[in-house]
Amino acid sequence: MRLTHRFLCLAGLAGCASSTVPVVTTSSSSPVVAVSSPGPVIAAPSARVALRQYVDSLIEVPEFRSANWGVLIVDPVRGDTLYSRNADKLFMPASNMKLLTGGTALAQLGPDYRWSTTVLARGPVRDGTLAGDLVLRGTGDPSVSAHMHPTDGLAPLRALADSVRAHGITRIRGRLVAAPSPFVDAPLGYGWSWDDLDDAYSAGVDALYFNEGFSEVVVRGGARAGDAARTATRPASSYPALINRVRTVERARAGASTADSDAARPHITVGQDSSRSGVLVTGTIA
């Protein structure tokens, strides 16, 4: 809207300037009015045309001559397309997609919305024992994360456990299960690159979102060369399950060659094992 107002204001000023009739005086005692024939009236471009010209001016610069742009600007109230360029082409989603996601969430949910994770007891409770399953019903809460709780990434889960205890449940004769997810679509976004799926930023959507969908893998060398390395995850120390294929190698000695020093550096690869339920960790570490 700010852009629209600016162009409308400029158009108004231009219109006022073309209709002004100047008054001049001469050496005679009576004023003489100079009348000039009006020039051709040039209509100011509409706000929509001005927007298109403005976006084009940003894109069509020499620095971007080798770039591909996909742009779609839609009026959020009327649904009219204000600008379109390669809007039907497939592009890899970039980090700035979070601007659209965040804006949509604010518009639909409002700034005061809070995610909730509910714990349900499926069965009677007698003497502190639940004779049945404990069910977790999530809504995709993104705050269950070490980024939100740097000193203890498991703090939100501990709060849930404390809530269960506060309701008189100290023992469960059943399972800990997840309620059906409210997210019915595919957990991975349309158009995501398959070779990015092992990266932390490619975690799929989940109702019980833990630590933004990723874990850190910690690898430490064994006592001697040839020993299996020690692996763990955080913030949860045993989740997800790891398939450890990392071996310990000799440390580089003082004055070692570049090749020996390079061989002693950690060379670790972490990826999802599609044939097994777990994360495959391979490589060497001193």
Per the domain annotation, does 209 fall within a domain?
A: yes
My answer on whether 176 and 130 are in the same domain is: yes
Distance from the Cα of residue 15 to its chain's centroid: 46
Q: How many domains does the chain have?
A: 3
Asked if residues 244 and 281 have their Cβ atoms less than 8 Å apart, the reply is: yes
Q: Phi first, then psi: what are they for 283, rounded to 5°?
A: 130, -160
- The terminus-to-terminus CA distance of the chain in angstroms comes to 60
My answer on whether 185 and 260 are in the same domain is: no
pTM higher than 0.85 for the full model? Answer: no
Nearest alpha-carbon partner for 178 in 93, 120, 115: 120
Per the domain annotation, does 21 fall within a domain?
A: no
Per the domain annotation, does 103 fall within a domain?
A: no
Domain end residue (candidates: 176, 195, 214): 214
Per the domain annotation, does 62 fall within a domain?
A: yes
Burial of 154: CB neighbours in 10 Å, binned 0-12, 13-18, 19+ = middle
Asked if residues 216 and 210 have their Cβ atoms less than 8 Å apart, the reply is: no
pLDDT for 169 equals 96
Domain end residue (candidates: 91, 124, 159): 91
Per the domain annotation, does 241 fall within a domain?
A: yes
pLDDT for 52 equals 94
What is the rounded CA–CA span in Å between residue 6 and residue 164? 58
My answer on whether 116 and 195 are in the same domain is: yes
My answer on whether 209 and 229 are in the same domain is: no
Nearest alpha-carbon partner for 243 in 283, 199, 281: 281
pLDDT for 42 equals 47
Q: The domain containing residue 258 runs over which residues? A: 215-285
My answer on whether 48 and 129 are in the same domain is: no
My answer on whether 175 and 161 are in the same domain is: yes
Per the domain annotation, does 26 fall within a domain?
A: no
pLDDT for 68 equals 92
Per the domain annotation, does 83 fall within a domain?
A: yes
Domain end residue (candidates: 173, 195, 214): 214
Binned average pLDDT, 10 residues per bin, the chain of 286 residues:
33 33 36 47 70 94 92 90 94 82 92 93 95 95 89 91 95 95 86 79 87 89 92 87 92 69 80 78 92
Cβ neighbour number for residue 10 with a 10 Å cutoff = 12
Per the domain annotation, does 100 fall within a domain?
A: no
My answer on whether 171 and 203 are in the same domain is: yes
